[in-house]
Amino acid sequence: MQENKVLPQPHLLSWVQETSGQPVSRCYQCYKCTGGCPVASFMDILPHQIVRCLHLGLEDELLKSKSIWLCASCHTCKARCPNGIDIASINDVLKAKVISRGLVPASSTIATFHREFLASVEKYGRAHELGLVMAYKWKTRDYWKDLSLGVKMFRKGKFRLWPDRIQNKEQLRSIFKRARGEA
Amino acid sequence: MFFGYYPGCSLHSTAAEYDASTRALFEALNIPLKEIPDWNCCGATSGHSLNTYLCHSLSLRNMVLAEGVASHLVVPCAACYNALRSTQAFLKSGTKEAKKLQEDIKLSIGQEYKGMLEVHHLLEVLGTPDILSLIKEKQKVSLAGLKPAAYYGCLLTRPPKVVNFEADAEQPQLMDRLLKALGAEPVSWSHKTECCGASLSIPAPEIVEELVKKIVQAAVRAGANLLVTACPLCQTNLDSRQPEDYKLPVLYISEILALALGISAPWLNKHLIDPSPVLKSCNF
């Protein structure tokens, strides 16, 4: 529990509102988001609590939470929120903040998957499913989980062995550079 | 009439059967599909999770390229469709960032987005009155006996104002109407828009198994003998992560329609759960 010396810190709230475009301060804690969230039972901070933490400026708690990574971006919260708040979009800007600050993501497996996915897109222009799964397994040293499923899918010809590449690599390089703020 | 076509990465790999059946279907309907030249990945969940701006940039390049091909674009993948529609909504917002995105893409690819492109999901196109009556005209086989549970998932229906897929995001009907029009008896069920867990399938399979179990149980409880999807990731998760004792086949909507049109379907053997016992019991 937080001690009562916690005071609302408006800078986090206004930063999230601005970058995610979500009207976070409208929330009146009706819990509808948590009621409909398919992954709520796996979360450490529930969806309505994520919004409450923003109101209270509990930045560390949010950046260290697994919930922001577990969110499947299904947007059920957004569809049902009486105030139109999309918690998936809030979680996106919080994840980006974890990465940009160089903090350790609370779910290293999910963060590694996202990184490997984007590395594949940056390299080829298209995601190479087999390659990115192998890179993910290598990075997380998780070689055995899903091995038999992988073999079954391979036998069914589900995987493309070699990556599909786009022609115009220069355009892609420029897009990635600008999105990282390097250009 | 012709459409631009954006298959997306999965349709060139784990969902090759979705691509093949969609192309075969449009060929049978005599509606040309023109694939966007040199399209790139939409970034999917990983893109917006780590860098929303990157995700919009990737989609905008595709939109510029698509605009050069046709004014109407068909997208079979729910994630690609959602990404394109989100970028359109972002541009429409007219914010400073949206204007910067337009400028940046012009600098990166030397072309500008004119804003004339209409993005449709495959289901929306198939459900238009003209195309539906064309499908009915060309139907050779009735779908009687099939009791599909139409599964829409998340990205087709949400966020409602962005995708604008159907009036009631909680109770979509388009796929049900298509199936019913061809003689199938789609079941009324509870989980048509519940999430399958999407890309968590690789880094957190235990979550996806739990979600998929609930969806499959709900479909069986409602009396379905088949699940029908319109998203490559939903199909892969439902096909590969359902509890072993259910063996409920999961087909793409394009595969079902191809069956109704009497198109030979070599792709049906690509599924992990063999759909042939169910299809045979319904005289296919």
Q: What are the residue ranges spanned by the domains of chain B? A: 3-122, 140-281
Main-chain dihedrals φ then ψ at residue B70, nearest 5 degrees: -160, 160
Q: How many CB atoms lie within 10 A of CB A181?
A: 9
Site from B12, B19, B46 to mutate, A interface, most A CB atoms within 10 angstroms: B46
Across A126-154, average pLDDT:
94
The domain made up of B140-281 has a fold known as Rossmann fold (3.40.50)
What is the layout of strands, in order, in the sheet containing B72-75?
Answer: B33-35, B3-5, B72-75, B118-121
At residue A183 the predicted structure's pLDDT band, cuts being 50, 70 and 90, is: confident
Across A10-18, average pLDDT:
91
Q: Which DSSP helix (H) or strand (E) runs through B150? A: strand B148-150
Residues of chain B with pLDDT under 70: none
CB contact under 8 A, B240 and A133: no
* pLDDT given for residue A7 in this prediction: 65
Task: Give B35's strand partners.
Answer: B5
Radius of gyration from C-alpha coordinates of chain B:
19
The domain made up of B3-122 has a fold known as Glutathione S-transferase Yfyf (Class Pi); Chain A, domain 2 (1.20.1050)
CB contact under 8 A, A175 and B205: no
d(CA A112, CA A69): 11
d(CA B223, CA B233): 24
**Short-list B280, B284, B265, CA closest to B22:** B265
CB contact under 8 A, A153 and B240: yes
For residue range A170-182, what is the model confidence (pLDDT) as tens digits?
999 999 999 999 9
Quick check: B62 and B51 in contact, CB under 8 A? no
Quick check: B201 and B237 in contact, CB under 8 A? yes
Q: Which amino acid is at A180?
A: R
Nearest to B50 among A78, A79, A99 (CB): A99
Which part of chain A has CATH 1.10.1060.10?
Answer: 10-100
Q: Which two tokens stand for residue A179?
A: 């999105």
Q: Are strands B3-5 and B72-75 parallel, antiparallel or unpaired?
A: parallel
Site from A42, A76, A170 to mutate, B interface, most B CB atoms within 10 angstroms: A76
Burial of residue A31 (number of CB atoms within 10 Å: 0-12, 13-18, 19+): exposed
* pLDDT given for residue B148 in this prediction: 98
ipTM: 0.95
For residue range A30-65, what is the model confidence (pLDDT) as tens digits?
999 999 999 999 999 999 999 999 999 999 999 999
The domain made up of A10-100 has a fold known as Fumarate Reductase Iron-sulfur Protein; Chain B, domain 2 (1.10.1060)
How large a percentage of chain A has pLDDT more than 70? 95
pLDDT above 60: residue A2: no
Q: Which two tokens stand for residue B242?
A: 């359902």
Task: Give B118's strand partners.
Answer: B72
DSSP B156: T
CA angle, A149 as apex, A148 and A155 as ends, to 5°?
A: 90
Nearest to A39 among B39, B107, B207 (CB): B207
d(CA A9, CA B71): 48
Residue indicated by tokens 């990157």: B54
Chain B residues in contact with A86 by the CB 8 A cut-off are: 159
Q: Nearest CA of chain A to the CA of B145: how many Å? A: 28
Q: Nearest CA of chain A to the CA of B198: how many Å? A: 7
Quick check: B105 and B180 in contact, CB under 8 A? no
What is the layout of strands, in order, in the sheet containing B148-150?
Answer: B148-150, B226-229, B250-252
Mean per-residue pLDDT of chain B: 96
* pLDDT given for residue B241 in this prediction: 97
Alpha-carbon A182 to chain mean position: 22
d(CA B21, CA A183): 42
Same fold flag, B3-122 and B140-281: no
d(CA B14, CA B231): 11
* pLDDT given for residue A1 in this prediction: 54
Candidate from A106-120, A141-155, B135-149, B202-216 with smallest mean pLDDT: A141-155
Number of H helices, E strands in chain B: 13, 7
